[in-house]
Amino acid sequence: MQPIEQRLTSFFQQHLPLAQEIGMEVSYYDGRRLQLSAPLSPNINDKFTAFGGSLYCLAVMSCWGMVYLQTEAAEVDCNLVVSRGEIDYLRPVSEQVFSAVCDIEEGDFEMFLADFKQKGKAKITLSSTILAEGKVAVSFKGEYAILPPVVLREKN
């Protein structure tokens, strides 16, 4: 695993208990494609397929993770949030390990990062898919925003 991928994995482990519960992990990243995977066993529903909430989490986090990795690579200090998301569940997912993939094109992030540097905030729309038996089973589209960094306070 490359150091930048390890930062994303560490973030998931430190800040997202749900990621640990569903077994989410970075399975591939090359700068233009991020693939997050999870095993079926902790995510199974009463129909013996992947639970819709787990599919949503993996899909939304693959796009969130892409923004995280792109801002980390550009050394942009920001607060990253999901501002909107929509999902279509097209077929059941029963693979023992299922994956959400977020792909970006060359140049997708240049304007996004330029907007942030100029305006102090920016939005981007990304999508991800989860396949089952080689066909799209889940299609997700979300809007992500980066804002100035916030100072987090510890809970008392």
Neighbours of 155 (CB within 10 A): 4
Number of domains in the chain: 1
- Write the CB contacts of 136 (distance below 8 Å, at least 6 apart in sequence): 90, 91, 129, 130
The CATH number of whichever domain residue 48 belongs to comes to 3.10.129.10
pLDDT given at position 73: 93
Half-sphere exposure of 39 (CA within 13 A, CB side): 5
pLDDT score at 3 = 78
What CA dihedral angle connects 20, 124, 34 and 114, to 10 degrees? -110
pLDDT, average across residues 5-17:
89
* Residue 153 within any structural domain of the chain: no
CB 95 within 8 A of CB 138: no
Residues of the chain above pLDDT 70, percent = 95
Query: Is residue 15 included in any domain, yes or no?
Result: yes
Secondary structure, 3-state, 18-87: HHHHHCCEEEEECCCEEEEEEECHHHECCCCCECHHHHHHHHHHHHHHHHHHHHHHCCCCCEEEEEEEEE
For the chain, the straight-line distance linking the first and the last C-alpha, in angstroms and rounded, comes to 36
Q: Chain-wide mean pLDDT for the chain?
A: 93
**Residue 69 belongs to what domain range?**
3-147
Q: Given a cut of 90, is residue 75 above it in pLDDT?
A: yes
Contact 101, 59 (CB under 8 A): no
Residue 122 resides in a domain: yes
Give the lowest-confidence range in 37-46, 50-59, 104-113. Answer: 104-113
Average pLDDT over residues 9-33: 93
Does residue 156 carry a pLDDT above 80?
Answer: no
Q: pTM for this structure? A: 0.92
Q: Do the domain assignments include residue 155?
A: no
Tens-digit pLDDT profile for residues 101-136: 999 998 889 999 999 999 999 999 999 999 999 999
Q: Does residue 154 have a pLDDT over 70?
A: no
